[in-house]
Amino acid sequence: MTNQNGRFGIHGGQYIPETLMNAVIELEEAYNHFKDDPAFNEELTALLNDYAGRPSRLYFAKKMTEDLGGAKIYLKREDLNHTGAHKINNVLGQALLAKKMGKTRLIAETGAGQHGVATATAAALLNMECVVFMGEEDTIRQALNVYRMRLLGAEVIPVKSGTATLKDAVSEAMREWTSRIADTHYCLGSVMGPHPFPTIVRDFQAVISREIRAQILEKEGKLPDAVIACVGGGSNAIGTFYHFIEDKSVRLIGCEAAGRGIDTFETAATVNTGKVGIFHGMKSYFCQDEYGQIAPVYSISAGLDYPGIGPEHAHLHDIGRAEYVPVTDEEAVEAFEYLSRTEGIIPAIESAHAVAYAEKIAPDMGKDQIIVITISGRGDKDCAAIARYRGEDIHD
């Protein structure tokens, strides 16, 4: 869906300092060369299968289906991947690409820490240096992941500027990239930033819908009626949607983090509360004030706590192909507890946003209809924070 200038409708583009232009042009050329290179793809597939544990399972959630009494619910188990989330799909692709480009150092931003952990993992595996930028606020919310990254040999730099969350980590990683380009690849974690990142990350995450499609056809002999995923920048969502975009019968539903509600200022629901703007290298929807100052956003989920959304999602929204719905902290926490209790699967609080929306719509759907929810990650990292939310201190 990308056109020549990295546009998705009016969205996307390359709004970055001149200092980075040759770097993104070089990246695009390298990607265009390697994406169809059989040896590269063979190497990547081997890593995804033997190291990351793909293909991930498509699990029929029988108890949840019976309990909700409507559509059949399947869970795409990205939480079972090595490192515990979908992030590894993109990271292995980018790290391998960077290695082929002769880069020896990976830098990354991280919110919940899942992308940082995945990047640190790939760097360890491929003998690369790794520096991860993480909002100071998030290093506190996700202390376990900070430890994991350090254990894997990465340097974690707490970012104190701005709101000390994901957007500030992205800004700081971009600043770092402008100061050291020759040996460094910026391993961006979502379908955002300047072209070609939204396309590269989407292509590496599209494995999710490629597998769902084959798996559901094998199990049910037909396509799902809806696929649901949570959306921050939107990488697991675009991965979940991509191979269904042309199948108009499949509803594509992205669940945004509404925080304390879209009628409050404590929200991160970009499509529902933002407007078109230019930030972090792309044109897309952003939460911002009337003068274009980026709004401090909020969600219980550090991974969805971002004031923008990837440009391809912005375009899918504009053309009415995908729906973007708000899910509050409270709804997500309830879904976190619900899936744990009902299916014995503790989802990441990010993924719980998708589970919450499925709980809303499944009862009104027919028993012959099918919903696939992508469980983008596992929830171990969130247990302490959710306990805190429920007024319990478990001293993590």
Partner 1 sequence: MTRIASAFEKKKAFIAFLTCGDPDLATTAACVRAAVENGAALIELGIPFSDPTAEGPVIQGANLRALTGGVTTDKIFDMVRELRKDVSVPMVFMTYANVVFSYGAERFFGACKEIGMDGVILPDLPYEEKEEFLSVAHKYGVDLISLIAPTSENRIAMIAKEAEGFLYIVSSLGVTGTRSEIKTDLKSIVEVVRQNTDIPCAIGFGISTPEQAAKMAEISDGAIVGSAIVKIIEKYGSEAAPHVGEYVREMTAGLNGYKF
Query: Is-catalytic flag, 42?
Result: no
**Catalytic pick among 56, 190, 299, 376:** 376
Residue number with CB closer to partner 1 (78 or 168): 168
Spell out the long-range contacts of 151-159 with Cβ–Cβ below 8 A and sequence spacing 24 or more.
Answer: 152/117, 152/120, 152/121, 152/123, 152/124, 153/120, 153/123, 153/124, 154/116, 154/119, 154/120, 154/123, 154/130, 155/130, 155/131, 156/116, 156/132, 157/131, 157/132, 157/133, 158/134, 159/133, 159/134, 159/135
Map tokens 């992941």 to a residue: 145
Would you tell me which residues interact with partner 1 (CB under 8 A)? Answer: 5, 13-23, 161-162, 167-168, 171, 174-175, 178-181, 275-281, 283, 286, 288, 290-294
Contact 205, 56 (CB under 8 A): no
Q: Which is nearer to partner 1, 178 or 272 (CB)?
A: 178
Active site residue 87: yes
The single-letter DSSP state of residue 86 is T
Handedness of CA 119, 124, 126, 127 (dihedral sign): positive
Shortest reach from residue 5's CB to partner 1, in Å: 7
Catalytic residue among 28, 56, 72, 109: 109
Q: Shortest distance, CB of residue 176 to partner 1, whole angstroms?
A: 8
Residue 373 tokens read as 């929810």
Contacts of 59-65 with CB under 8 Å at 24 or more apart are 60/219, 61/342, 61/343, 63/342, 63/343, 64/338, 64/339, 64/342, 64/343, 65/362
Task: CB nearer to partner 1: give 219 or 275.
Answer: 275
CA distance readout (Å), 250 to 73, 157, 240, 242, 389? 14, 42, 11, 11, 35
Q: Which residues contact 17 (CB under 8 A, 6 or more apart)?
A: 178
Residue 78 DSSP symbol: G
Per the annotation, the verdict on 109 as an active-site residue is yes
Q: How far is the C-alpha of 29 from the C-alpha of 100, rounded, in Å? A: 12
CA torsion 332-342-85-330 (nearest 10°) is: 10
Question: Quick one: how far is CA 254 from the chain centroid?
Answer: 11
Quote the least distance from Cβ 202 to partner 1, whole Å.
21
- 23 versus 314: smaller Cβ distance to partner 1: 23
- Amino acid identity for residue 144 in this structure: L
> Quick one: 157 or 181, whose CB is closer to partner 1?
181
Task: Give the shortest CB-22-to-partner 1 separation in angstroms.
Answer: 5
Q: Write down the least CB distance from residue 290 to partner 1, Å.
A: 7
Pairing type for strands 58-60 and 72-77 reads: antiparallel
If the CB atoms of residues 15 and 51 are measured against partner 1, the closer one turns out to be 15
Minimum Å distance from CB 283 to partner 1? 8
Q: How far is the CB of 156 from partner 1 (least distance, A)?
A: 19
Q: Which of 248, 249, 253, 384 is nearest to 322 (CA)?
A: 253
Burial class (CB in 10 A: 0-12, 13-18, 19+), 204: buried
Cβ proximity to partner 1: between 83 and 288 the closer is 288
Q: Which of 87, 167, 283, 381 is catalytic?
A: 87
- The tokens for 252 are 């594509």
Minimum distance of partner 1 from residue 134's CB (angstroms): 16
Q: Which is nearer to partner 1, 76 or 167 (CB)?
A: 167
Identify whether the C-beta of residue 226 lies closer than 8 Å to the C-beta of residue 254.
no
Residues carrying an active site annotation: 87, 109, 376
